[in-house]
């Protein structure tokens, strides 16, 4: 195959001295940090079918290469070293290795580092986190967090049974309470109105996640002087570190780490779990609830599965979750359409040929999972929410298409029956096309891949499954507004209020 030089790869042209950073500084479309989804679609158009595009000469960053091909993504992931390098988050690195060097020392954690230091730390904590039994064991604990959150939802409904405009903040509270329960072994009090410490934590969470795009994606002015975003970021990290030191108990996953590797390692792990396990899980819950609320066919099918397998007021266990394959498919399909992270990355440690171009060592390869998982090549009718894509059974069997199904539709009003049948036929057609295409294993990777895959994946999945199972078992959820728009903060979250309507079943 003929290879082309790196300079020939399409991408925005950098200016002398200014590079391409000026585009983000001026916030000219599509170069806006909060709209990186649009930036990725722009780059895909530049790259063409199965090609790649680059963004070179960004202040404080290596050249970025975006391969828009699942086969290329697979090749790069599979050739990576035993110690995969991700681009370091400069501000987090500065916090750990400069500002708080006396605390972190030789224990940098999992986030914002790579190489031998990362590998050594991961070897200390991976067994406690990655083992399937670890996540399964905490399901009863997470059950009570979800139960408390369902009670809280009922209490904050208005007279129209609509959730408040700040419901996304409530989801942050639930996610933080969940991480505290399984990681620190304690309830943080985030679901109580009168816990001032918990409210301070929530404020820190918001300040932290809204400052990240400005610090890590825009020109690094914080290196010259302490910007407002930088101060917010550092104060939040200090609060999280203090929380982890104060609330670490003799229970939870981190307690096992403390016993074998000391409280310091356990505290640093807890900090990293807070940094990556709150906004991501909250965003995943928000998008899944939204897509289910907009799709009556899917919601009814999910509720049939829940009705058949769950007993109201009974403590849920991992065995209960094992009986809910359609729920898992609903989550996978939501994370395909609205992944919480738009892309993942690796810094290649040797020269490579990527999409036919010679890419030099040190370049940062960004896998645009959001684009691939919404690409017609891999997912027919990609914007259609069809969880059946992920279930191996026949479509009619999944949906119980029998005489009882026909009778159920006849009981609906004529208009609703026609709508239901139309939705059913459209979804089945998409499922058939997906079956013909198959699902490329690297086209949708919401948790990443390889040794740097999200280490808390199984815990996040358990949290989501428990919350959604309880919520949709108890309520029919409605969405009465227009289509949500999304921003990158750095997770992919809705802009508009999440005012879902909850109707008791």
Q: Would you tell me the crossing angle of helices 167-179 and 263-277 to the nearest 10 degrees? A: 160
Dihedral of CA atoms 29, 483, 175, 227 in degrees, nearest 10, equals 20
Does residue 347 sit in the same domain as residue 397? no
Report how far apart, in Å, the C-alpha atoms of 55 and of each of 13, 61, 157, 167, 223 are.
8, 10, 46, 36, 22
Q: What is the CATH number of the domain that holds 149?
A: 1.10.630.10
Least confident of 74-88, 205-219, 389-403: 74-88
| Residue 28 belongs to some domain of the structure | yes
Least confident of 215-229, 268-282, 446-460: 215-229
Can you tell me whether residue 229 is helix, strand or coil? helix
| Residue 276 belongs to some domain of the structure | yes
Please answer whether residues 250 and 181 qualify as being in contact, where contact means their C-beta atoms are separated by less than 8 angstroms.
no
pLDDT in tens, 439-467: 999 999 999 888 778 888 999 999 999 99
Average pLDDT over residues 469-481: 97
Q: What is the CATH number of the domain that holds 59?
A: 3.30.43.20
Does residue 18 sit in the same domain as residue 73? yes
Query: What six digits make up the tokens of 346?
Result: 């690796």
Query: What six digits make up the tokens of 418?
Result: 């026609």
Query: Per-residue confidence at 341, pLDDT binned at 50, 70, 90?
Result: very high
The sign of the CA dihedral 22, 26, 30, 36 is positive
| Residue 34 belongs to some domain of the structure | yes
Report how far apart, in Å, the C-alpha atoms of 370 and of each of 41, 373, 376, 378, 396 are.
9, 5, 12, 12, 29
Does residue 392 sit in the same domain as residue 462? no
Query: What six digits make up the tokens of 351?
Result: 């020269």
Does residue 225 sit in the same domain as residue 367? no
Can you tell me whether residue 394 is helix, strand or coil? coil
Please answer whether residues 129 and 148 qualify as being in contact, where contact means their C-beta atoms are separated by less than 8 angstroms.
no
Can you tell me whether residue 143 is helix, strand or coil? helix
Please provide the average confidence, as pLDDT, over all residues in the chain: 88
Please answer whether residues 109 and 125 qualify as being in contact, where contact means their C-beta atoms are separated by less than 8 angstroms.
no
The total number of structural domains in the chain stands at 3
| Residue 1 belongs to some domain of the structure | no
Average pLDDT over residues 408-424: 64
Establish whether 318 is an annotated binding residue: no
**Comparing 64 with 200, which gets the higher pLDDT?**
64
| Residue 215 belongs to some domain of the structure | yes
Does residue 325 sit in the same domain as residue 355? no
Instruction: Provide the pLDDT for residue 197.
Output: 74
Does residue 261 sit in the same domain as residue 198? yes
Does residue 155 sit in the same domain as residue 200? yes
Does residue 266 sit in the same domain as residue 394? no
Does residue 348 sit in the same domain as residue 329? no
pTM above 0.95, yes or no: no
Average pLDDT over residues 317-346: 94
Does residue 277 sit in the same domain as residue 156? yes
pLDDT tops 80 at residue 469: yes
Domain enclosing residue 81, as ranges: 6-86+342-372
pLDDT in tens, 119-147: 888 888 888 887 888 899 999 999 999 99
Instruction: Provide the pLDDT for residue 448.
Output: 87
């Amino acid at each position: 195959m003929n290879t082309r030089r790196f300079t020939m790869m399409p991408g925005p042209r950098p200016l002398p001295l200014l590079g391409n950073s000026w585009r983000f500084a001026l916030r000219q479309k599509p170069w806006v940090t909060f709209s990186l989804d649009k930036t990725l679609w722009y780059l895909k158009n530049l790259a063409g079918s199965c090609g790649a595009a680059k963004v070179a000469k960004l202040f404080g960053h290596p050249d970025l290469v975006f391969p828009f091909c699942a086969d290329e993504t697979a090749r790069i992931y599979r050739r990576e070293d035993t110690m995969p390098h991700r681009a370091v988050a400069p501000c987090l690195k500065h916090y750990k290795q400069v500002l708080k060097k006396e605390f972190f020392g030789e224990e940098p954690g999992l986030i914002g580092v790579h190489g031998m230091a990362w590998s050594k730390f991961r070897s200390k904590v991976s067994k406690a986190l990655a083992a399937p039994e670890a996540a399964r064991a905490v399901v009863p604990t997470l059950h009570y967090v979800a139960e408390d959150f369902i009670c809280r939802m009922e209490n904050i409904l208005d007279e129209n049974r609509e959730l408040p405009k700040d419901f996304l903040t409530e989801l942050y509270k639930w996610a933080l309470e969940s991480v505290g329960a399984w990681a620190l072994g304690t309830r943080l009090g985030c679901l109580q109105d009168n816990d001032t410490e918990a409210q301070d934590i929530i404020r820190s969470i918001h300040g932290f996640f809204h400052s990240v795009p400005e610090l890590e994606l825009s020109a690094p002015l914080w290196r010259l002087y302490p910007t407002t975003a930088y101060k917010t970021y550092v104060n939040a990290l200090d609060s999280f570190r203090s929380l982890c030191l104060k609330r670490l108990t003799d229970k939870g996953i981190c307690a096992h780490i403390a016993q074998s590797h000391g409280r310091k390692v356990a505290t640093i792990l807890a900090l990293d779990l807070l940094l990556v396990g709150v906004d991501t899980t909250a965003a995943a819950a928000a998008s899944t609830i939204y897509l289910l609320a907009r799709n009556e066919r899917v919601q009814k099918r999910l509720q049939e599965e829940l009705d058949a397998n769950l007993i109201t007021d009974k403590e849920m266990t991992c065995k209960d979750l094992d009986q809910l394959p359609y729920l898992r498919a609903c989550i996978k399909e939501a994370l395909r359409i609205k992944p919480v992270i738009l892309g993942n990355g690796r810094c290649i440690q040797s020269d490579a040929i990527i999409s036919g171009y010679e890419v030099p060592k040190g370049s940062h390869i960004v896998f645009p999972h959001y684009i691939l998982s919404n690409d017609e090549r891999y997912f027919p009718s990609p914007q259609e929410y069809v969880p059946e894509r992920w279930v191996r059974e026949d479509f009619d069997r999944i949906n119980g298409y029998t005489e009882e199904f026909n009778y159920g539709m006849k009981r609906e009003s004529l208009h609703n029956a026609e709508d239901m049948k139309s939705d059913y036929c459209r979804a089945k057609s998409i499922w058939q096309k997906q079956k013909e295409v198959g699902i490329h294993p690297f086209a949708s990777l919401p948790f990443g891949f390889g040794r740097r895959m999200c280490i808390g994946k199984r815990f996040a999945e358990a949290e989501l499954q428990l919350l959604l199972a309880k919520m949709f078992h108890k309520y029919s959820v409605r969405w009465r507004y227009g289509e949500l728009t999304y921003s990158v903060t750095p997770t992919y979250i809705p802009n508009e209020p999440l005012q879902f309507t909850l109707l008791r079943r």
